[in-house]
Amino acid sequence: MKQVLAFAPASIGNFAAGFDVLGAAIVPVTGPPLGDQVEIRLARADAFTSEGPFAHRLPSRSEDNLALQARDAFARAWGRPLPPLAIRLVKNLPVGSGLGSSSATVVATLAALDALLEAGLGPDALLRAGGETEAQGCGTFHLDNVAPALLGGLRLVDPAGSARALPFPEELLFAVASPELELNTRDARRALPARVSQALAVAHAQNLASLVLALLTGDAGLRRTCLRDLVAEPHRAGLVPGFRAVQAAAMGQGAEGCTLSGAGPAIFAVADRGRAEAVAEAMTRAWDQAGVRCQVRICRLEEQGARIL
Binders of its own copies in range 141-200 (CB under 8 A): 156-160, 164, 166, 192-200
Q: Please name the helix (run of DSSP H) or strand (run of DSSP E) that holds residue 267, with its range, or none.
A: strand 267-272
Q: Site for its own copies (CB under 8 A): which residue of 216, 218, 238, 309?
A: 216
What x/- string results for residues 219 through 258 when contact with its own copies is judged by CB under 8 A?
---x--xx----x---------------------------
Min dist. Cβ of residue 202 to its own copies (A): 5
Residue 53 CB partners (closer than 8 Å, separation 6+): 91, 92
Helix axes 243-252, 273-289, angle to 10 degrees: 150
Q: Site for its own copies (CB under 8 A): which residue of 155, 204, 275, 297?
A: 204
Question: In whole angstroms, how close is the CB of 141 to its own copies at the nearest point?
Answer: 10
Q: Cβ 231 to its own copies, closest distance in Å?
A: 7
Least distance CB 192 / its own copies (angstroms): 6
Strands (E), 53-102: 85-90
- Bridge partners for 172 per DSSP: 272
CB-wise, 45 or 199, nearer to its own copies?
A: 199
> What is the smallest separation between the CB atom of 125 and its own copies, expressed in angstroms?
18
User: How many angstroms separate the CA atoms of 54 and 153, rounded?
Assistant: 25
Given the DSSP bridges, would you call strands 163-166 and 154-157 parallel, antiparallel or unpaired? antiparallel
Does residue 130 contact residue 142 with C-beta atoms inside 8 Å?
no
E strand or H helix at 298: strand 294-301
Which one among 205, 218, 220, 295 touches its own copies, defined by CB under 8 A?
205
Encoded amino acid at 184, one letter: N
Give contact residues for its own copies (rule: CB under 8 A).
Answer: 18-22, 140, 156-160, 164, 166, 192-213, 216-217, 222, 225-226, 231
